[in-house]
Structure 1
Amino acid sequence: MQIDFTPDPRLYPFQSRWFDGSRGRLHYLDEGDGPPILLCHGNPTWSFLYRDIIVALRDRFRCIAPDYLGFGLSERPAGFGYKIDEHAQVVGEFVDHLGLDGYLTMGQDWGGPISMAVAVERAERVRGVVLGNTWFWPADTFSTKAFSRVMSSPPMQYAVLHRNFFVERLIPAGTRDRPSAAVMEHYRAVQPSAEARKGVAEMPKQILAAHPLLARLAREVPAKLGAKPALFVWGMKDFAFRPGPTLPRMRTAFPDHVVVELPDAKHFIQEDAPDRISAAIIERFG
């Protein structure tokens, strides 16, 4: 299944590109020149989430932003399971296809575990790490486990698949100011049907189901990437990844780190504080 939607060039002033991988056709952006930075989104977003950051960075960095299979403008291939290890395999294949070397890697929400799973396999090619409002270890709080169980239940799976719950409810709840009608339409239009939302519906299940991968990342990220320079850009009003329990683990994993607090930002930091994030990346890695 391919998504039939043309983004508004005033909001998304980029050239769409395509990678025909072993599991399906991946849509991505490749904008600007300079050191490469891989921008990994979470749920239920797509490369559109990074639009303002790309505009701010592309005169200094080569900004590469894929849409995972099942998200954004990428294909929804028959037989694809939308599990986190599968997404990481596809993104890894994509990184190898582009021949990225000396690259920065940024992840938010599920983009954290996916970007880290790709990076630990290619540690010698990673220049530095940017993480925001994310994690890379097994779910260990009551609220996180409960969210996974509730969202995996038949009534909530129905809401996600048939009422577009993640887009209609969680994006407004996870942003400081409700996004404009035009922005909301760009999140809505790439998830037009239950069939198109299978990837979105699977991700909350994966919080618990991806335990083996997350347990491996909890060991391998500090071991293989811990010496890299890191930047943490953190929405301090996030309900999902509260700074108190999460940031100390990030600091421990990456001793050479800088923390930039985004005091008013909630979960979708790229919507709430793109200018602050871009400036922090330039200051740390520019």
Structure 2
Amino acid sequence: MAFPPITRSAHRFLDVDGVRVFYRESLPERDDAPVLLLLHGFPSGSHQFRRLIDALGARYRVIAPDYPGFGHTRAPDGFTYSFDRLADVTEAFADRLGLRRFVMYVFDFGAPVGFRLAERHPEWIAGLVVQNGNAYEAGLSDGARDFIALRPDQPDAEATVRSLLTPDGTRSQYETGVADPSAIDPDSWTLDQHFLDLPGRREAQVALAFDYHSNVERYPAWQAWLRKHTPQALITWGANDPFFPAPGARAYLADLPDAELHLFDTGHFALETHLPEIAPLIADFLDRTWR
């Protein structure tokens, strides 16, 4: 019996505008393999895509960077943590790697980073895979709205943000809405917490939390971009996400009526529990979109 190909991967750093960006990249057998750029969420990093890279990387060039303030990436002292700056670094990273056409996977924080990138370079975007990456007010839970409304000058606002950066807060983001928590590898939230506990990381996350309102303010522009460019889109969504519930997935269909939508009975980190269902959908989408 023929053994299926096993993904070969590289783990590298790239200096981008003073930021030492860490990234994972699969090494597919074909030089002209379709390219998939994976943009991670909070409080994670590119490591959240390890299993997906293993599943797809033998056939596709899969690239996953860590943003400044996340994972193994190292930003210089005085770096300004905002979503505009995360997008600046991601844009420069893609440019340095020579990425001129790719399918973009956006998850959580990856959506505001990715849609900024798409606005700047619509010619780069061959298609979209959206997984619990919100761009509509309909996709904000009451808890998410309360969180986004926090401002630095409000009493206890910073303490509220920091409460999410604890081991219990990190673990809850993985387990909330999941029918069988035993399906989730505890290394996921443990590694997230390790990076959150590094010097300066909590301050970076607090700054990004207080900047999140800038994303909601850009929702109309991103929706207009979707209507104008009508990218092919695959939407895979954990329907029990406590931050970005299922209406956020369905909202995309107003601007992309031909998008393919799949809702799964799981929480925020849908790949943790439903990789066997989601990976084949992405592979099929890559094949169709790249042609």
Q: Does TM, scored on the shorter chain, surpass 0.5?
A: yes
State the Cα distance separating 1:85 from its structure 2 match: 1.1
State the Cα distance separating 1:212 from its structure 2 match: 4.3
SS of residue paired to 1:20: strand
The match for 1:200 is: 205
- Tell me how far apart the structure 2 counterparts of residues 166 and 203 of structure 1 sit (CA, whole Å): 17
State the Cα distance separating 1:39 from its structure 2 match: 0.3
Aligned length: 270
State the Cα distance separating 1:255 from its structure 2 match: 2.9
Preserved CA contact (<8 Å) 1:68 1:91:
yes
State the Cα distance separating 1:35 from its structure 2 match: 0.7
The match for 2:134 is: 135
Structure 1: 5+ residue runs without aligned partners?
A: 1-11
- Tell me how far apart the structure 2 counterparts of residues 35 and 24 of structure 1 sit (CA, whole Å): 27
The match for 2:190 is: 185
- Tell me how far apart the structure 2 counterparts of residues 83 and 277 of structure 1 sit (CA, whole Å): 30
- Tell me how far apart the structure 1 counterparts of residues 137 and 199 of structure 2 sit (CA, whole Å): 28
Q: Is 1:248 aligned to 2:253, yes or no?
A: no
The match for 2:159 is: 155
Aligned partner of 1:235: which letter? Answer: G
Deviations 1:156-196 (A, max 9, x none): 234346x3564243233365515334333222222224522
State the Cα distance separating 1:270 from its structure 2 match: 1.9
The match for 2:3 is: none
State the Cα distance separating 1:65 from its structure 2 match: 0.2
Preserved CA contact (<8 Å) 2:141 2:245:
no
State the Cα distance separating 1:103 from its structure 2 match: 0.7
The match for 2:111 is: 112
Match of 1:17 among 12, 21, 27: 12
- Tell me how far apart the structure 1 counterparts of residues 110 and 250 of structure 2 sit (CA, whole Å): 19
* Structure 1 vs Structure 2 CA RMSD: 2.5
SS of residue paired to 2:196: coil
The match for 2:4 is: none
Deviations 1:103-150 (A, max 9, x none): 100011111121121122221222111001121246876443212245
SS of residue paired to 1:156: helix
Aligned partner of 1:148: which letter? Answer: I
Q: Is 1:29 aligned to 2:30, yes or no?
A: no
State the Cα distance separating 1:44 from its structure 2 match: 0.3
Structure 2: 5+ residue runs without aligned partners?
A: 1-6
Moved more, 196-205 or 132-141: 132-141
Preserved CA contact (<8 Å) 1:44 1:166:
no
- Tell me how far apart the structure 1 counterparts of residues 199 and 8 of structure 2 sit (CA, whole Å): 28
Task: Assess, with a 3 A threshold, how the Cα gap between structure 1 residues 127 and 209 changes in structure 2: closer, same or farther.
Answer: closer
Preserved CA contact (<8 Å) 1:29 1:64:
yes
Aligned partner of 1:20: which letter? Answer: D
SS of residue paired to 2:129: strand
SS of residue paired to 1:100: coil
Task: Assess, with a 3 A threshold, how the Cα gap between structure 1 residues 142 and 173 changes in structure 2: closer, same or farther.
Answer: closer
- Tell me how far apart the structure 2 counterparts of residues 30 and 253 of structure 1 sit (CA, whole Å): 32
Deviations 1:3-46 (A, max 9, x none): xxxxxxxxx98432111111411110111331110000111010
The match for 2:232 is: 229
Aligned partner of 1:247: which letter? Answer: A
SS of residue paired to 1:133: coil
Task: Assess, with a 3 A threshold, how the Cα gap between structure 1 residues 115 and 209 changes in structure 2: closer, same or farther.
Answer: closer
